[in-house]
Homo-oligomer: A and B are copies of this chain.
């Protein structure tokens, strides 16, 4: 069997195992058995448990970014792009729950080598959403009405809400990607629109 395919088998097994058990609780024995190969072969190809986990993170991150990117049509109105991106995001996380678990739950809770890998991808997505929000503001008024420093936290909140909804949708039977995306658009876009029209909510006192 050619190396590339064997490697894919092993990574599939690793993603499933890491996603369900967590990095520490997953054992190389279990991964090798699930992949249907012997343990030394896993080491021959993937080098170490750390390297294997990193490889999983990179593969799943790339797949997620690819899925979202593929769902978007650049040049469309900002809300259409956000909608399309969210739909692709929720679709992908529903189709690959183990991969999503690796990225969201596991990689971020197991210290420095791994957290950074996933942070890179996340920043890329936050940056894209930040751009969309600024673009939307431009579309609405021709010039940015939102101060620069306020856009980033909003994008952070939107991405955070999307992540939480993805977990919730995976854990709640019967919730479709389209419903999740609609909920989040309703929840966020109208609020953003209000903000852009200079009508922020103001705290008491």
Contact = CB atoms under 8 A, between A and B. Distances in A.
Contacts of A105: 105, 108-109
Contact of A191 (B109, B181, B194): B194
A143 interface: no
Nearest to A153: B183
Contacts of A193: 190-191, 194
B200 A191 contact: no
Contact of A163 (B164, B178, B183, B191): B164
Contact of A200 (B150, B158, B160, B186): B186
Contact of A158 (B182, B187, B194): B187
Contacts of A200: 186, 190
A63 interface: no
Contacts of A165: 153, 156-157, 160
Number of copies: 4
A185 B156 CA distance: 14
A111 B201 CA distance: 39
Interface in A181-205: 181-195, 199-201, 203-204
B110 A22 contact: yes
Nearest to A106: B109
Contacts of A186: 154, 191, 195, 200-201
A168 B164 contact: no
Interface of A: 21-25, 79-80, 83, 105-106, 108-111, 150, 153-154, 156-161, 163-165, 167-168, 175, 178-195, 199-201, 203-204
19 contacts: A25-B110, A106-B109, A109-B109, A154-B187, A156-B168, A157-B164, A157-B187, A158-B187, A160-B164, A161-B164, A163-B164, A164-B164, A181-B203, A185-B203, A186-B200, A187-B188, A187-B191, A190-B199, A190-B200
